[in-house]
Amino acid sequence: MATHLVIGDPHSTPKSPNDRFLWAGKFARDIKADVIICMGDFASMDSLSSYDKGKKSFEGRRYKKDIEHAHDALEKFNRGLLGNGRKKNGQRRIMLLGNHEDRIDRAIDNTPELDGAISIDDLEYDRFGWDVYNYQVPVNVDGVYYCHCFPNGVLGKAISGENVGRSLLNKNKTSSTVGHNHLLDYAISTSPSGKKLMGLSVGCFLNHEEPWAIATQRMWWSGLIVKRNVDKGEYDLETIRYNKIRRTYGKK
């Protein structure tokens, strides 16, 4: 049976240090994670934000800075995990693309002359040892479906809401884990055979303020998720808060 480390949206951004990625790598090493899944929005890509474009808060943002900061975060994670940079060490690393990485494709779609000048490939997740999965494409790992946000209905809107864990089970009818909304929520249902189906929203992994969430950020949960004994969609769940990770690994 496998151990999964799940990293909720970490939003690497030049406005916040990348120390937490070093801590997460060390934590992954210590728990001997078999699979590491980042739920998306690893890179925040603030330079392509449409929320505050043209406002004073947007001044100084640059695409190159966003990319370089993401590379630094990837390097720090690998240093914590491996101690020697980019080499894989037996575990599987899965990077789900989120809507913040998708900002790159949307920018190209809205401004076609950027085609060839910028690309999601600039993030180079694969060079740092990650298997990359496209935005809104679920991946099945040991019977659990992971996706940054599961599209639902004719319009493909993300499954969300205050009780998103239960909504995942009602909509997907299988064990599902989601990022995107930064909330921690968990629900279990049981099939007629007795099999447990588990719906989980993993929160996030950050400690900086986001202006676009000024009214809702108090609802977020920040930390890391460990799933032990993962087998056919069932697992034992452990949550570790951000402050616990910082206290344990920030001193080393």
Q: Is residue 187 part of a domain?
A: no
Number of domains in the chain: 1
pTM attached to this predicted model: 0.93
Mean pLDDT of 28-42: 97
227 lies in which domain range? 2-135+210-249
The pLDDT, as a whole number, for residue 246 is: 96
Average pLDDT, the chain: 91
Q: Is residue 40 part of a domain?
A: yes
Rg, C-alpha atoms of the chain: 18
β-strands 196-202, 176-178: how paired? parallel
The pLDDT, as a whole number, for residue 90 is: 77
Q: HSE-up of 75 (CA within 13 Å, CB side)?
A: 6
Distance of alpha carbon 112 from the chain centroid: 28
DSSP 99-147: TTTHHHHHHHHHSGGGBTTB-GGGG-TGGGTPEEE-TT--EEETTEEEE
Q: Is residue 171 part of a domain?
A: no
Max CA pair span of the chain: 58
Q: Is residue 175 part of a domain?
A: no
Q: Name 56's Cβ contacts closer than 8 Å, sequence gap at least 6.
A: none
Q: Which letter, b or e, does each residue of 202-238 get, where b requires 16 or more Cβ atoms within 10 Å of its Cβ? A: bbbbbeeebeeeeeebeebbbbbbbbeebeebbbeee
Residue 2 has pLDDT above 50, yes or no: yes
Q: Is residue 193 part of a domain?
A: no
Share of the chain above pLDDT 90, in %: 79
pLDDT band at 56 (very low <50, low <70, confident <90, very high): very low
The pLDDT, as a whole number, for residue 215 is: 87
Q: Is residue 167 part of a domain?
A: no
Q: Is residue 52 part of a domain?
A: yes
The pLDDT, as a whole number, for residue 53 is: 56
Give the C-alpha distances (Å, rounded to integers) separating 37 from 93, 179, 204.
6, 11, 13
Q: Is residue 202 part of a domain?
A: no
Residues 72 and 113: their CA atoms lie apart, in Å, by: 28
Q: Name 192's Cβ contacts closer than 8 Å, sequence gap at least 6.
A: none
Residue 70 has pLDDT above 80, yes or no: yes
Residue 29 has pLDDT above 50, yes or no: yes
For the ranges 29-33, 151-155, 222-226, 230-234, the lowest mean pLDDT is seen at 151-155
What pLDDT digit, counting tens, does each position of 82-101 carry? 976 555 667 899 999 999 99
Which of the given ranges, 79-93, 133-147, 153-167, has the highest pLDDT on average? 133-147
Residue 171, phi then psi, degrees to nearest 5 = -85, -45
The pLDDT, as a whole number, for residue 153 is: 78
